[in-house]
Homo-oligomer: A and B are copies of this chain.
Amino acid sequence: MSVIRPMRADAVRNRRKILDAANAQITARGPDVGMDEIAQAAGVAVGTLYRHFPTKTDLVAAVVGEYVVAVADDAQASLGRASVGTSRAVDEVVGFLSRVAESSADHHAVKAAAQGLGVEGHGDESDESRASGALAELIALAQADGDIRTEVTVDDLYLLMATAPTDEPAPVRQRWLDLILPGITTPPC
């Protein structure tokens, strides 16, 4: 008696195509691409786009939401590796930040679009807490190892993620990482 009706197969396909097209178009042509252009890139009519996302804001929020899912997945995978002992927790934190800075580069225009439209909730809240949970554990692990400063919190990570120089070339992003890291890790002595 679930209220959640399964979507028709083609509707699912279209939703995917739209989301991908939106991501691609915003990335390629800037945060102000028109809905028509996104629809065309997705190979659907505008009406279809609006059936899936009643508002441009909704569409962009969904795109951001997908990104949050990816980030949460990454955070959980990092935690997984650190828990098992495959790698040190600090290294996972650093790797995570590095990958986020990397992937955010593509995501930059999307973030700009979201800001321009006043997108609020970045998609599903459960994904955000999934990410937060994993990162919290990861930090705790690294702190137990004595590798990360005791006062560092998940919010600090979010703050750094938010300020990553997403529109800069790779070497700059690497340098940024180097500048950032000492603030998180414990001093050498």
Contact = CB atoms under 8 A, between A and B. Distances in A.
A176 B160 CA distance: 8
A115 B111 CA distance: 13
Contacts of A11: none
B179 A184 contact: yes
Count this chain's copies in the assembly: 4
A46 B188 CA distance: 60
A144 interface: no
Q: Chain A interface mostly helix, strand, loop or mixed?
A: helix
Contacts of A165: 159, 162-163
Interface in A141-167: 156, 159-160, 162-165
Nearest to A149: B182
A106 to B, nearest CB: 16
